[in-house]
Structure 1
Amino acid sequence: MVARALAEAALERKAEAVVALDVRELTSFTDAFVIATGTSDRHARSVADAVLERGRELGQEPLGAEGYEDGRWILIDFNVVVVHVFQDDVREDYDLERLWGDAAAIDFDDVA
């Protein structure tokens, strides 16, 4: 599954608190979210770079990406998976895990 592979790419770059959520039953615009935390803007961009590279390796060209320059909330839309890379304070403010609390967690190997 693409979400698992993207979550693992984030973990390989030492992203923190990585979760993947199956949102197919809750929305029609994507199948899954991957949510990760970077410890700084530079780290968040590094995590995003790893996710973008893994996505392309899987044949998933992103439809778009936002927030890369600022590095506080980077959103990468692969259509089937939307990846959010936050800095910790921004992640707490938006609390997507609570907002999408009815979504099932997707298990993935902890490669970190």
Structure 2
Amino acid sequence: MFPAGGPGAGLLLLRLAVALSLLLHPSGGPLMQAMLALPAIGLCLGVLTPLLATVCFLFSFHDFLVVGGATLPETGIRFLITGALALLGPGALSLDARLFGRRVITVPPRKNQGVGE
């Protein structure tokens, strides 16, 4: 759930790309930019990544249909990167990994294992 090493660094870069795409898009005015700053900061830190990536996906969809501030190719790329991020999760370089960490479940051997069981 929280890959480390190269995949973890790749997920960090993906989170930063989604956050920057939110912050650098000029649609909606200053109030909308202020509202988008919170999920962008959360994505940079890796907090609630699947939820915030879904919020970014919905914003991109709204921006394309209602506001008309994005082109079809730009919206398609946003859909792909936010969808990938929502499905992959934050990676090891995130606050989610620090808060929830990796869990290892060990199953103890069964007792009374006799012949023929």
TM-score, L = length of structure 2? 0.32
Larger radius of gyration: 2
- Of Structure 1 and Structure 2, which has the larger fraction of its residues in helix? 2
- Of Structure 1 and Structure 2, which has the larger fraction of its residues in strand? 1
Q: Which has the higher contact order (CA 8 A, sep 6+)?
A: 2
